[in-house]
Structure 1
């Protein structure tokens, strides 16, 4: 092989062009992510319970007489005023007794009228000397006796009418008629509950709080009443805390007035959030936390050797507030929390925080 051919082969193997820079040199390094700077915010310590709306003016309607129910004059949910007839109980003996007494009144009234005429006649005769004083006094006595008998009959009628009124049950106050558990034809006694009357203009919220949270209870605590969708429909304040514990449920009763009475009904169950306290804390978006084997982890942006890297941290969280977790440990104010692009990174991975996304919480 000639020396010229050897020189050509050597040139081909060694390459004639200088080496260029490494691929990607001078380009963007790190995975682009979104981050926020954590700031301390006011965090409420709350708990949600199921409460019951009750009327402060609930009247239990029971009869004052015994007998068979013959008429039910109202329906459940009807609003009535004081004196409105509600029920009627059969009273045959009382009606018969009243009719008998009333039948004697006409005779007693006639006797009294006759005695009055006789007394007037006797007075006129006595004035002209045509009747003795004794006869005049006898006529006057007869008049007084007849009038007394008439008054006695009237009093008997009033007493019998009052007795008969017990068989007609009327509303003692204004309110809304509750459930009517009785039926026409049933025998009722003085202990039978016919219905209830509730005044929905004066309502209270009853909430039973577990005894474990007794130390947090005090007058004036805010209570939020929620709709079924979780919206706040009313905010009230605790005005009563029971001094005793319910032995059966081991709970403590608290009450709040309900001023938005038009939205609620007696015995309605509602969601109630009690705000026990308010303190500074941190909240991280739900999307920034990952749950692994029952524990929560987040990524924070850290600086290592002049580069920005992602560091995975285990955190402990409390309840959910809005769209975030309340952090109880693992993070501090000022930490840069990665909230976007976490699915593309791992612990120690270089990242680049997008300028438009970085900002306060």
Structure 2
């Protein structure tokens, strides 16, 4: 006999996964890409090299600044020696205080020049590090639209790095169902076979309707255990609530040319005869199919010997 059980009233939609921790990678300098160290989809660690931008010009600038620093170091050494010499002469009364003051001024100027050049060297060395683009965090490399030889600027998108831990499913729900949407309602991420990959809940419902698709954007947070990837298409099952639905044993159901059937015992001329009915079934709960159409609670479903039955054959209850 068909019995009724409480099952989820749900709808499945195609959804897109997006990472909550997605970083757009743009260069901080201009130049030509000379190396790409990774491929799209690769997993990288924090600080891993992603690309190299031609550093030759910047290296020349750093080298020139270092040469200038060396000259300033030599000039400071000379100014200090001169000051020490003049200071000794002043102590002996050979030269005036004015000449000592001039030597002190020259020494101070040499020290200031060296400090200025050292600051420039540090700045140019810091700039040089920007020519190697690195990952700002551990994650998965997205699409890489640039190629070796391309010239890039500070506004060029090189790639993205998505942290795979916490993700969001972007689900487009038809506007007709929008009034039923609310925060915290269950969402299940399922595979092509209907198996649940992750449990989630609605974290965002857009107040606006997409005028082109006539859908409402819904987001659901997902803890990724390593099986999901950013930009992946998935199936999201939005659970509206529960409802009482008839079920029939799996053993009672036959499938012919893709259509499900079941035999039901119906009263006819004072007895019972087998009647074949087409079914529309849903998920399996335990050992039973959830029936969407075809039978109702209380129908006498024939479970055994169905392979020998034909429509209209007399049957008798067992036991």
1:324 maps to what in 2?
A: 289
Q: Is the 8 A contact 2:262 2:301 kept in 1?
A: no
Q: Is the 8 A contact 1:66 1:187 kept in 2?
A: yes
**Cα distance in structure 2, aligned partners of 1:123 and 1:48:** 90
The question of 1:169 aligning with 2:160 is answered no
Q: 1:141 aligns with which of 98, 105, 110?
A: 105
Q: Is the 8 A contact 1:289 1:298 kept in 2?
A: no
1:309 maps to what in 2?
A: 272
Distance 1:106 1:50, change over 3 A: same
2:117 maps to what in 1?
A: 153
Distance 1:260 1:59, change over 3 A: closer
The structure with the largest strand share of the pair is 2
Q: Secondary structure of the equivalent of 1:180?
A: coil
2:145 maps to what in 1?
A: 181
**Cα distance in structure 2, aligned partners of 1:92 and 1:114:** 33
In the TM superposition, residue 57 of structure 1 has moved relative to its aligned partner by 0.9
TM-score normalised over the length of structure 1:
0.74
Q: 2:65 aligns with which of 80, 85, 101?
A: 101
In the TM superposition, residue 312 of structure 1 has moved relative to its aligned partner by 5.8
- What is the RMSD of the two structures over their aligned residues, measured on CA atoms? 3.3
In the TM superposition, residue 278 of structure 1 has moved relative to its aligned partner by 0.1
Distance 1:234 1:93, change over 3 A: closer
**Cα distance in structure 2, aligned partners of 1:288 and 1:150:** 90
Distance 1:268 1:149, change over 3 A: same
Distance 1:60 1:352, change over 3 A: same
Structure 2 portions without partners, runs of 5+: none
Q: 1:208 aligns with which of 172, 176, 182?
A: 172
Q: Secondary structure of the equivalent of 2:50?
A: strand
Q: Secondary structure of the equivalent of 1:104?
A: helix
The question of 1:41 aligning with 2:11 is answered no
Q: Is the 8 A contact 2:280 2:294 kept in 1?
A: no
Structure 1 portions without partners, runs of 5+: 1-35, 356-361
**Cα distance in structure 2, aligned partners of 1:177 and 1:215:** 38
Equivalent residues in 2 for 1:1-361, closer than 5 Å: 36=1, 38-284=2-248, 287=252, 299-302=264-267, 307-310=270-273, 320-322=282-284, 324-327=289-292, 331-332=296-297, 334-340=298-304, 344=309, 351-355=315-319
Distance 1:276 1:199, change over 3 A: same
Residues 219-264 of structure 1: per-residue CA shift (max 9 Å, x gap): 2222222233332232222222222222222222222222242221
From the CA coordinates, give the structure whose radius of gyration is larger. 1
Q: Secondary structure of the equivalent of 1:172?
A: coil
